[in-house]
Amino acid sequence: MTAVLDSLQQGRQAVLPAMRAAVDRLDPASRAIAYYHLGWTDLDGNPTSGGGKAVRPALALLSAEAAGAPPATGLPGAVAVELVHNFSLLHDDLMDGDTERRHRPTVWAVRGAASAILTGDAMLALANEVLLDAEGPGAVAAARLLSEAVGELIRGQVLDVAFEQRDDVTLDECLDMAGGKTGALLSASSAIGAVLACAPARTVSALAEFGADLGLAFQLVDDVLGIWGEPSVTGKPVHSDLRARKKSLPVTYAVTHGGAPGRELAAWLTDGDVADDAAVRRAADLVDLAGGRAWALEEAHRRMAAGRQKLEDAEVPGRVREELLALARFIVTREA
C-alpha cells in the first residue's frame, strides 16, 4: 500500500504544476472557486493542503507507460481527466443537494448554484482546450476519447436521475448506469495516456476495458460504503444513501434478487414515509439479508480479476501492470 501512496504522491507532484497552469487560465472568479473546490485554498483564498487523491491523473500517467512511453506523455490527459472529474463533481453536488465533500462545504452550498454550474462548465471546456493544445499526433484522438467519455458520463447521470422516479429498475440497467456514471471516466483515464502515446488499438482497448472494470468495482464498493461506511472515513452521514432511498447497486440487487427481505425493502423504498433512524437501520439490514452486500463485494472482486486478465492479455509490461492493479485496488478499497 505504501508503494501505491508513493506512486500517487509522485503522480500528484508531476501533475500539479500542469493542473495549476491549466486552472490559472480560467477567469479569476471561476479560478478562485476551482481552487477552493480542488482543495488548494480555503474560502478566503488562503492556501490549504489537501484535495483529492488524483487517482485519475495517476491512471493517465501509468497508461502512457503501459504503451512504453514516458509518464509525461500522459500529462495533458492526466490534467484533462482530472478537470472533467471535477466538472462532474461540481454539477453532481448541486443536483444531488450534497452540502459536504471531503469534509468541506460544497461549492453550491457556499457560493450558490450559478457558481457551481459555471465553474463546472468552465472546467469541462478547459479539459478540452488542454488536449487540443497538446502536441503530438495523439492529442486529437485523446480529445475525442475524452469527449465520448463525457457523453457516457452524462448519460449515466441522466439515468441516475431518471431512476429516482422509477420503482422497476433492473440490475442490468443499474450496472449500465454505473458504467456510464463511474466507469466511463475511469476507463478514459486508463487509456488516455496510451492514446497520447499513439499506442496500438489493442493496447488502448485493453486499458479502456480495464478502466471500465475498475469503475464498476469502485462503484460497487462505493455503494456498500454509502450504506455501511464509517462516516469519519466517507465524509457522509451514516446510511446516507439509504436515507435518500438511493437505488444503488446493492439495493437494486436486493430488491430484484433478494426474496422476502428484498420485497420488504422494496415496500419500504416506496412507502413515502419520512424515514427515522430505526427504519433506515432496518433497511440496511434488509439489503444485507437479501444478499445485496455480499453480491456487491463479490462482483467487485470479479471485475477486478477481469481487469487484471485484460492487462495480461494485452501484454502490458509487468511493472506497469502491477502498478495499475495496485492503484486499482487502492481506488476500490480506499477512495470513497
By CB under 8 A, residue 187 contacts its own copies: no
By CB under 8 A, residue 189 contacts its own copies: no
By CB under 8 A, residue 305 contacts its own copies: no
What residue has cell string 413515502? 272
Q: Is the distance from CB of 251 to CB of 243 less than 8 angstroms?
A: no
Q: Is the distance from CB of 142 to CB of 50 less than 8 angstroms?
A: no
By CB under 8 A, residue 260 contacts its own copies: no
* Sole window of 23-31, 44-52, 199-207, 243-251 interacting with its own copies (rule: CB under 8 A): 23-31
Of 59, 124, 194, 304, which lies in the binding site for its own copies, with binding defined by CB under 8 A? Answer: 124
Whichever of 87 and 210 has its CB closer to its own copies, that residue is 87
By CB under 8 A, residue 125 contacts its own copies: yes
By CB under 8 A, residue 173 contacts its own copies: no
Of 117, 171, 326, 336, which lies in the binding site for its own copies, with binding defined by CB under 8 A? Answer: 117
Whichever of 108 and 330 has its CB closer to its own copies, that residue is 108
Whichever of 16 and 154 has its CB closer to its own copies, that residue is 154
By CB under 8 A, residue 110 contacts its own copies: no
By CB under 8 A, residue 245 contacts its own copies: no
Instruction: Give min distance, CB of 132 to its own copies, in A.
Output: 5
* Sole window of 57-65, 86-94, 214-222, 241-249 interacting with its own copies (rule: CB under 8 A): 86-94
By CB under 8 A, residue 75 contacts its own copies: no
Instruction: Give min distance, CB of 186 to its own copies, in A.
Output: 17
Q: Smallest Cα–Cα separation from 145: which of 162, 157, 128?
A: 128
How far is residue 168's CA from residue 170's CA, in Å, rounded to a whole number? 6
Written as one letter, the residue type at 291 is G
Burial bucket for residue 120 (CB in 10 Å: 0-12, 13-18, 19+): buried
With b for 16 or more beta-carbon neighbours within 10 A and e for fewer, the 124-151 pattern comes to bebbbebbeebeeebbebbbebbbebbe
* DSSP code, position 73: G
Instruction: Give min distance, CB of 252 to its own copies, in A.
Output: 19
* Sole window of 25-33, 99-107, 260-268, 269-277 interacting with its own copies (rule: CB under 8 A): 25-33
Instruction: Give min distance, CB of 220 to its own copies, in A.
Output: 22
Q: Is the distance from CB of 178 to CB of 157 less than 8 angstroms?
A: no
Q: Which three cell numbers stand for residue 268?
A: 419500504
Q: Which three cell numbers stand for residue 169?
A: 429498475
Give the residue ranges of DSSP H helices in the chain: 2-23, 28-37, 55-66, 75-96, 107-111, 113-133, 139-163, 171-178, 184-196, 201-228, 231-234, 240-243, 249-257, 259-270, 277-289, 292-313, 318-334
Of 162, 260, 267, 305, which lies in the binding site for its own copies, with binding defined by CB under 8 A? Answer: 162
113: helix, coil or strand?
A: helix
By CB under 8 A, residue 128 contacts its own copies: yes
> Among positive and negative, which fits the CA dihedral 180, 290, 300, 236?
positive
Q: Which residues bind its own copies (CB under 8 A)?
A: 25-27, 29-30, 87, 91, 94-95, 113-115, 117-118, 120-122, 124-126, 128-129, 132-133, 140, 143-144, 147-148, 150-151, 154-155, 157-159, 161-162
